[in-house]
Amino acid sequence: MAVAITAGLVLTFCCGVINAQPSVSLNLQVTTFRQPALCTRDVKLQHSVSRVLQFKSITECAHECKSDATCLSFNYHHDSDNETNSCEINTRSSDRRGNQLVYSSGYSFNEKLTSGGFGTSTCELRNSNFVYKKYEKEYTVRIESKNYPNYYISPNAANEAYILQNDRKPMKVVSPGLTGEPGTISFESGDSPGWFLRCRHDTAKLDLWDSTSTIDYSPSTFYEDATFWAREDYVYAGWTHFENVGKPGTFLSHGSYRVSCGTSWNTPNAAFQIIPFVPFVLVYKEVLIQSYNYQAYDLSVDGNSRIKIISGVTTKWNFISPGLTGLEGTFSIESVEHPNYYFRYRADSTFINLEDSVNPSYSPSTFAQDATFYIREHKWYSGWFAFQNAYNNLYLRHAGYVCWGSADDGSAGHHNDGSYRFVT
């Protein structure tokens, strides 16, 4: 009997006999079982046992698996002191990375091979040294929605995946994905290592799951459910669709901001873009911003959420860079007292307001651009700077104590009203 396996112990079953054989060609008339290299003893497949039987030999166990179309592998316990030993029939096999194989004294794992089949080549594939080759230097990314700019796939407090505006939670893209299949990727939380985005097919939703603890939903399919094919330019040039390996034909998409796993793909809701994650740097921390021509006044916020100069207050601000859009050299100005609230220009009123970046009260799609500024040092006066919006080029100036966006008209009044400095 002939087989074509290059790694590990190969067992060929025919006529009631299992034999270890060298690597030659495959004969379709035989059923071949293989033990992955470096995994010939003290290992078993977990989460896949459908039946446990007792047999006197591994040959009988293999015969049982051969005769069962649902059996893809089996675990056999080698114990010479017992008359019979445990034969565990598995409805699944392992994947290329050797996931679900665990140490178990006295057991051997044997996977059924068919024409074109490819199982675990070696237990050495079980590792965490993932690399996303498209961004070798910046493998931490954000996943942006096509039809909701500046909205990114991110888990909420309940680990449910949504598209959230200007969300700064990083994702680590690993390749190959958790199954080890070439060309696939998986998404690992940048904040919580070992947690992966996974399609839960009983609810058709995408959630963040902890791979390092007990998995209470379908543990046998975890790795496939958390692995995706990235279908670049699938429908829209420059955008990617993510097809789930665990259920081919299922794609990530969003509806009412919730990310789901379904068959809908020919829609902008199913198109995303992987972009490098640029971490914010807190450049200036807890500073006051003093007015040039009213030096007893600092920038603060009134009861209508408008930024204005007010005397006798100690409103402090953080400056993060790059700004919310990620544009190099820019800043966004965040309230120390109210995290996630930023200066933003409002085109409907031309005022500068302090607004919540998570739930903006006006034009969510333009919030990041409205809240991103350049600091123009020594713009009009030495030692004083101006704030210029990075996208509409308007400067922050005050008039009647209230701040608004204004083009530079060259006047001394504009320069006086638009000049500030930090006070720590």
Q: Strand runs (DSSP E) across 56-166, as ranges?
A: 73-77, 85-90, 101-103, 107-113, 140-145, 151-155, 161-165
- pLDDT above 90 (res 302): yes
pTM of this prediction?
A: 0.56
Show the tokens assigned to 269: 């809701």
Lowest mean pLDDT among 110-114, 130-134, 258-262, 376-380: 130-134
- pLDDT above 80 (res 292): yes
| pLDDT given at position 96 | 67
CA 347/CA 325 separation, integer angstroms: 18
395 and 375 Cβ atoms separated by less than 8 Å: no
Q: Look over the chain and give the mean of its residue pLDDT values, rounded to a whole number.
A: 83
CA 424/CA 422 separation, integer angstroms: 6
**Long-range contacts of residues 78-81, Cβ cutoff 8 Å, at least 24 apart:** 78/41, 78/106, 78/107, 78/108, 79/106
90, 91, 102, 107, 226 from 46: Cα distances, Å: 9, 11, 7, 12, 18
How many CB atoms are closer than 10 A to CB 51? 14
- pLDDT above 50 (res 20): no
Whole-number CA gyration radius for the chain: 30
Please write the tens of the pLDDT for every residue from 29-54. Answer: 456 788 876 677 888 888 889 999 99
Q: Which residue has the higher pLDDT, 281 or 194?
A: 194
| pLDDT given at position 2 | 33
Mean pLDDT, range 354-365, rounded to an integer: 89
Lowest mean pLDDT among 90-99, 266-275, 338-347: 90-99
Please write the tens of the pLDDT for every residue from 183-216. Answer: 889 999 888 888 999 999 899 999 999 887 767 8
Please write the tens of the pLDDT for every residue from 400-417. Answer: 999 999 999 999 999 999
How many CA atoms, within 13 angstroms, populate the side-chain half-sphere of residue 188? 22
- pLDDT above 60 (res 122): no
CA 271/CA 237 separation, integer angstroms: 10
| pLDDT given at position 374 | 95
Please write the tens of the pLDDT for every residue from 128-152. Answer: 443 334 433 446 788 999 999 888 9
| pLDDT given at position 123 | 53
